Amino acid sequence: NAGVTQTPKFRILKIGQSMTLQCAQDMNHNYMYWYRQDPGMGLKLIYYSVGAGITDKGEVPNGYNVSRSTTEDFPLRLELAAPSQTSVYFCASGDSYEQYFGPGTRLTVT
């Protein structure tokens, strides 16, 4: 049981490039989430999904897109990367109140 996995662990992007952060969970959870964490700013919700085919915006969705075609996978797409998207990204899943987090992806945009 791997829990929540994220790839890649680290990535450096140039301004204007695009990329997809991968997230998968093997706990059969309905709910999945994407957060970003900046130093001193706490975790901010980007997007979330309550089931396959259903997604919704969180607090800071601009510059990101998501899809949820299966229960297991919830990729986060960055289009036209900007320096403001330099952050650590966490994916999480859950089926009750508590959430289970992945190890994170550290992204730098230069």
Residues engaged in binding other proteins (CB under 8 A) = 4, 31, 33, 40-43, 45, 48, 50, 56, 58-59, 90, 92, 97-104
Is 104 within 8 Å of 8 (Cβ atoms)?
no
- Measured CA to CA, the distance from residue 24 to residue 7 in angstroms comes to 9
Question: Whole-number minimum distance, CB 20 to other proteins, in Å?
Answer: 19
Closer to other proteins by Cβ: residue 10 or 15:
10
C-beta of 15: minimal distance to other proteins in Å?
26
Name which of 2 and 41 has its Cβ closer to other proteins. 41
**Cα 97 versus chain centre, distance:** 19
85 touches 63 (CB < 8 A)? yes
Choose between 2 and 98: whose C-beta lies nearer to other proteins: 98
The DSSP bridge partners found for residue 51 are 54
Shortest Cβ distance from residue 63 to other proteins (Å)? Answer: 18
What is the spatial distance between Cα 6 and Cα 71, in angstroms, rounded to a whole number? 15
